[in-house]
Amino acid sequence: MTRLWNEPAAFADEMIDGFVAANGRYVRRIPGGVARATTSPAGQVAVVVGGGSGHYPAFGGLVGPGLAHAAAMGNLFASPSTQQVYGAAKAADNGGGVFFTYGNYAGDVLNFDAAEQRLRDEGIDARTVTVTDDISSAPVAERRRRRGIAGDLTVFRAAAAAAERGDDLDGVARVAALANERTRSFGVAFTGCTLPGAEDPLFTVAEGRMAVGLGIHGEQGIDETDIPTADGLAEMLVAALLDPAEVPEGVASVSGARVVPVLNGLGSLKYEEMFVVYRRIAQLLEGAGIEIVDPHVGEYCTSFDMAGTSLTLYWLDDELAALWEHPVDTPAYRRGAVTATERVSASAIEAEATDEIPDADDSSRATAHTVRLAVTAIAETIDTHVDELGRLDAVAGDGDHGIGMQRGSHAARAAADAAADAGAGAATTLQRAADAWADRAGGTSGALWGVMLAAIARTLGDTGTPTAADVAAGVSAASRAVTDYGKAELGDKTLVDALVPFATTLAHGVDGGASLSAAWRSAAVAADRAATATADLLPRKGRARTHGEHAVGTPDPGAVSLALITAAVADVLASASEKGTPS
């Protein structure tokens, strides 16, 4: 269990602040995470890693000479927002382009891809290689869908070493892709993990039982067995990774191959226990004729307080073996001797730009008041249902949907309040709420709610009073943006299954002459009906896809939260209509 925190919603930020205070020799605080405290050569490719917090030493603990230039650090088990990733990349950029590498999770992909596009729009070249080492998350034929776990370390090291030897951006991407292709991992868990402030773990395993093929965000395993002996566990892990189908292409023969084994602790397993397991792993690998290179036993990618372990095998070739010897000096990981470099000067750290409020007229400010009330109602609704949303998400996901929605909606409310108090119009007020939601919530839902609210904001304007048709057009644009951005379709068991019926019903009502309040109410009913119907669907997108069968019979939490929000906003619009205020 987690014992020490102040405010759960502030845990990640306070953790990063403390991490920087304890490791000022290596890292400095930046908007979005941490960057090297020391300088890097001009023109060197900047390697930027990242993901949710709760996995220390990934990702911030791997920033320093010889490894990452910066890490974008999201909230607990939530991907960093686009803004956080962009901030980390800008802080790390040395003029040689930015290389992104991170675990293959939907929210991370959405936000890193958006940040990469933003960099490209500014003329900064960027590339990405996602880590896909977890053999339990998809079959061999669908390796591109696999998620990244402890194999992050091998890919990060290869990419960083290539950057430090002077490879250009394409060269770094090539090396990282090769390292990823030659990395395989498989893990087990004996207990779930408990987030700060939560009363229960994200999943449980019966006493004496073991989850097989777990995810590092608390996702349940693909199987459950009795806990074997230490030797039995070693044999299970090695057998899975030495399956002929999992031996990487290019490895001519297992016998004689060079392999770096990484036995990774997930947070609560004692090192002594892992040493007992590794004893047998080494015997099995040597028995297969494998040459063991630089074995690692320790914590490299944890899952907060989860008790469990994973085994990674990194199959070297001559190039990867040479890169593996490159020295590294970071807060949590050191290899060899790194040449000392100068610290980044204070003058080189750019101050944040002044945040000005665009002009607005009185009509738009009046509409902004309704926007403010709507965002407040959203936050209050999420507060009421946060535990239930988390429960729904834990059925086949990682259980953090409620917490993420709460963080996002609270940040949106604070941003909307600040904008409206400063005299902002409707568009600016909602846009500020959208940006804050995406930035603070992180994860897939944070990114998508930022996209939705921003699409609606663009149709409101900062002058005049928006019509019902304007709002309906904004919701339709939001629906299109989500499907374009997240790539989900009707039937995939996501919020799209509630959003599309909502947008369609709203547009139909407004086109038929209904008031915005009446049309919105009807659309909210349609969204609720559609969200309930997702219980019968099998997930085809996101983390729930891996364990989709567990989700049948339970509605999708993203669809449910959207339906709850539309109902809450319907009440605000009805009240505004009765009072004659702009809605």
Other C-beta atoms closer than 10 Å to the C-beta of 493 total 28
In SS3 terms, 278-347 reads as: HHHHHHHHHHCCCEECCCEEECCCCCCCECEEEEEEEEECHHHHHHHCCCEECCCCEECCCCCCCECCHH
User: How far is residue 343 from each of residues 28, 38, 569, measured CA to CA in Å?
Assistant: 10, 4, 50
CA-closest candidate to residue 238, choices 279, 199, 190: 279
Written as six digits, the tokens of 89 are 């990349």
User: Could you tell me the two tokens for 420?
Assistant: 């409206």
CB 352 within 8 A of CB 31: yes
Cα–Cα distance for residue pair 44/209, rounded to 1 Å? 48
Residue linked to tokens 């909210």: 524
Q: How far apart are CA 20 and CA 340, in angstroms?
A: 19
* Residue in 562, 550, 561, 545 with CA at minimum distance from that of residue 493: 545
Asked if residue 228 has a cis previous peptide bond (ω within 30° of 0), the answer is no
- Of 415, 423, 397, the closest CA to residue 559 belongs to 397
CA distance 520 to 535: 24
From the candidates 217, 385, 401, 547, which is the catalytic residue?
Answer: 217
Annotation says 217 is catalytic: yes
1, two tokens: 């269990």
- DSSP string over 166-187: T--HHHHHHHHHHHHHTEEEEE
> CA separation (Å) from 243 to 184, 246, 420?
11, 5, 60
Bond prior to 275 in cis (omega within 30° of 0): no
220 phi/psi in degrees, rounded to 5:
-65, 160
Which tokens go with 517? 């309040």
Parallel, antiparallel, or unpaired for β 308-316 and 183-189? antiparallel
* Long-range contacts (CB closer than 8 Å, 24 or more residues apart) made by 572-578: 572/370, 572/373, 572/374, 572/377, 573/370, 573/374, 573/516, 573/517, 573/520, 573/521, 574/517, 574/521, 575/373, 576/370, 576/373, 576/517, 577/515, 577/516, 577/517
Give how far the C-alpha of residue 87 lies from the chain's centroid of Cα atoms, to the nearest Å. Answer: 16
Catalytic positions are 217
